[in-house]
Amino acid sequence: MKTVLITGASRGIGAAIARIFAQNGYHTFLTCAHHTEALFALQRELERSFGIPCTAIPCDMSDAEAVERLFAQLPPLDVLINNAGISYFGLLSEMSVADWHRVMDTNLSACFYTCRLAIPHMVRKKSGRILNISSVWGQTGSSMETAYCASKGGLNALTKALAKELAPSNIQVNALAPGFIDTDMNRCLSAEETAALITEIPADRAGTPEEAAALAWQVVNAPAYMTGQIISIDGGWT
């Protein structure tokens, strides 16, 4: 049975990705840092609905030592999906150093922590897929979200560089760059702010976590020659 680790899996895009991998028979490993009740509820749902083994392990992915303890509990992975992420809204000049590091550690450093531990087995078997969940803001930038944009831009660069590093070992590394998706992260926006954003999107609506998850599944199962790509799903926004 193939194995997949999905970080930040308790809700939103991560939970939707977990459902599609479980539906397709993967032993699904799930993590989150805070919404642990939702994480264990998802574990029970996947086991009940799809009859597959599912393991939920709370873990703060921004903590390198915690990630090492997590990987000590995991079998070798076939697929790694780095989805854990947080946002920060506010002026850069008013952002604390602690908040900057919190965003960078969760959105970017966590990807380094997981990749460095997953890669050795993938290299030994000459097979593996790594998918990083980025954002359109990592490509275009956004006012009041400078740290978030910087972290996702760094994730895009990491994806492209790591893809070149691992291509000789037949390991594909790609990133998904969602636009405005209807998730809890974006529900901090007011109704007026949401409506204003949607007027800029040619598809005239927010995307759904299920749409992002469907594309994530397609990217992971794409021909092996596709690697180092940042693939947008944004309703024509960018």
What tens digit of pLDDT does each residue of 115-125 get? 999 999 999 99
What is the mean pLDDT of the segment spanning 45-63?
98
* 187's tokens: 């529900």
pLDDT band at 187 (very low <50, low <70, confident <90, very high): low
Q: What is the DSSP string of 15-38?
A: HHHHHHHHHTT-EEEE--SS-HHH
Who's near 146: CB < 8 A, 6+ residues apart? 92, 95
* Section 122-142 average pLDDT: 96
Sign of the CA dihedral with 169 first, then 176, 2, and 24 last: negative
Query: What superfamily would CATH give domain 3-233?
Result: NAD(P)-binding Rossmann-like Domain (3.40.50.720)
Per-residue pLDDT for 159 more than 90? yes
Asked if residue 171 lies in contact with residue 122, where contact means CB atoms within 8 angstroms, the answer is yes
Statement: residue 189 has pLDDT above 80: no
Judge whether residue 190 has pLDDT over 90: no
Any idea which residue has 């974006």 for tokens? 186
Residue 230 has pLDDT above 90, yes or no: yes
For the segment 106-116, the average pLDDT, to the nearest whole number, is 98
Question: What is the rounded CA–CA span in Å between residue 155 and residue 177?
Answer: 10
Mean pLDDT of the chain: 96
**96 has pLDDT over 90:** yes
The whole-angstrom separation of Cα 149 and Cα 163 is: 21
Catalytic residue, chosen from 88, 113, 148, 225, is 148
Domain residue extents for the chain: 3-233
Residue 175 has pLDDT above 90, yes or no: yes
Q: At what angle do helices 110-125 and 64-71 cross, to 10 degrees?
A: 30
pLDDT > 90: percent of the chain: 91
Residues 30, 18 contacting (CB under 8 angstroms)? yes
Those residues with Cβ within 8 angstroms of residue 96's Cβ, 6 or more apart along the chain or in another chain: none
pLDDT at 188 over 70: no
Whole-angstrom CA distances from 127 to 1, 104, 111, 176 are 15, 29, 19, 20
Two tokens at 223?
Answer: 């021909």
Environment class of residue 1 by beta-carbon count within 10 Å: exposed (0-12), middle (13-18) or buried (19+)? exposed
Position 186 pLDDT exceeds 90: no
- Does residue 26 have an active-site annotation? no
Paired with 199 in beta bridges are: none
Distance CA 238, CA 227 (A): 21
- pTM (2 d.p.): 0.96
User: Residue 153 corresponds to which amino acid?
Assistant: G
- Cite the beta strand spans of 44-170 per DSSP E: 54-56, 79-82, 128-133
Question: Which whole number is the average pLDDT over 44-66?
Answer: 98
Strands (E) located in the chain: 3-6, 27-30, 54-56, 79-82, 128-133, 171-178, 230-233
Residue 214 contacts residue 160 (beta carbons within 8 Å): no
For residue 106, the model assigns a pLDDT of 98
Chain centroid to CA 11: how far?
Answer: 12
